[in-house]
Structure 1
């Protein structure tokens, strides 16, 4: 029995790297697709997601090497030009379309998992317009492909992480206890998430355990997205914890 073959787009660091490690540990033949390997020691496909011609070369490489993926996770981030609308949409959205439509025809079932953001639903002032637009569109893209490619046994689901402690923000929250404590107070489970909370959800959606689930967008946020603003304001003001 051949091992499943998995791909993590943007798997050189952060949650993407943790997802790639999980796939490898469970026995998948695992590739990451990114500009550089970072700390990843396994199979690497070099790619610039902002370059459509480069993405077409990636698809030719996959076909020529007869790589047949079963599970594909999109965890890429725009780390270069955060205020450039066209660049953001290319990285976060158009590259997804190109890769999905280029890879899916060779798949025999399997699943795509998109790492979205609450910015697709709510305004996060620290993020630019393009990020909000692309993350909102990603949710509908999930549903669109779930409907149109479901007949081939391919599933599509999207995860929206809440406040997750990771290498890039852990030091900030440790140094700013007031912010940390407030975030915990507005979270029904009274805790931060960890990278493994997202990884575990990806593990589920990238397995036969979720064989009858497709087109779903799910918050992994400890309940942060559940409470109305007025209720939250009253609770915090009057200490109704």
Structure 2
């Protein structure tokens, strides 16, 4: 009997207690999370708090941030937020500094904020859209890492950073060519940072999600109906990921249990590109 799930099979929602754990993966750490108002970033903020971290959330939409912070606090976790545009260097530096002001240090950071592009061949993308994709998906993490490295050096002394890449960065990406190119450049930046800051005890890695049920993916599916089903049909696990499943991988990379892992782009793609 064929037991492979249908391509349309939804991802199961991983269980969550939301209650912070004094012995969790990130117990005692201060965590910075960008793009934390929704999707993978919001899932990560909740999970990091459950795993014992004090969390500063950043994104551009304050109402979303307030909702996630309220959920974390209601469960007994520690969280606050700062509205921040990742393409604004002054704003990024101020947001990182806010984490230090609130919690006295910075240990780990998850640079997850991103923006998509209208799907289609690269000659159909406007110059303005190109600039926006590059500013948020490449310049944004560069700005963030510069500020985060400085904050870790000045406070915790050692730490870890994880950037959100994409499996779409690993091969040709004709549907999202500039998004894929920006994420591939981010992979290179991640590796360079890992080599540069490893001697100081600062690890830098990336996660490369596959098909993940975020608002960005659903918007793509709305524009091109059948996209999610098609991607699921190419995935050995036969389904898309829940954002929390990507957050679990990021939490491990940020934790001391990944103490000898740096310079890695970890695919979390259900086997899509195995």
Query: What TM-score, normalized by structure 1, do the two folds share?
Result: 0.80
Say if 1:53 and 1:152 are closer, same or farther in 2 by CA, change over 3 A.
same
Distance, in Å, in 2 between the alignment partners of 1:141 and 1:55 is: 18
The answer to whether 1:196 aligns with 2:221 is no
The answer to whether 1:75 aligns with 2:112 is yes
Give the equivalent residue in structure 2 for 1:50.
87
Give the equivalent residue in structure 2 for 1:103.
148
Q: 1:122 aligns with which of 159, 171, 180?
A: 171
Distance, in Å, in 1 between the alignment partners of 2:99 and 2:228 is: 44
Shift of 1:181: 5.5
Shift of 1:47: 1.3
Give the equivalent residue in structure 1 for 2:72.
none
* Structure-to-structure mapping, 1:125-136, within 5 angstroms: 125-127=174-176, 129=178, 131-136=179-184
- Specify which structure has the bigger relative contact order, considering alpha-carbon pairs within 8 angstroms and separated by 6 or more residues: 2
Q: 1:15 aligns with which of 13, 16, 40?
A: 40
Distance, in Å, in 2 between the alignment partners of 1:135 and 1:171 is: 19
Distance, in Å, in 2 between the alignment partners of 1:177 and 1:64 is: 46
Q: How many residues were matched structurally?
A: 224
* Structure-to-structure mapping, 1:25-174, within 5 angstroms: 25-37=50-62, 38=64, 39-41=67-69, 42-59=79-96, 61-62=98-99, 67-78=104-115, 83=126, 84=128, 85-107=130-152, 108-127=157-176, 129=178, 131-166=179-214, 169=217
Query: What TM-score, normalized by structure 2, do the two folds share?
Result: 0.71
Shift of 1:33: 1.5
Q: Could you say what the CA RMSD is over the residues aligned between the two structures, in angstroms?
A: 3.0
SS of structure 2 residue aligned to 1:187: coil
Shift of 1:156: 0.9
Say if 1:123 and 1:14 are closer, same or farther in 2 by CA, change over 3 A.
same
Shift of 1:125: 3.8
Shift of 1:51: 2.1
Distance, in Å, in 2 between the alignment partners of 1:150 and 1:162 is: 27
SS of structure 2 residue aligned to 1:20: helix
The answer for unaligned runs of 5 or more in structure 2 is: 1-21, 70-78, 119-124
SS of structure 1 residue aligned to 2:208: strand
Say if 1:128 and 1:189 are closer, same or farther in 2 by CA, change over 3 A.
closer
The answer for unaligned runs of 5 or more in structure 1 is: 227-241
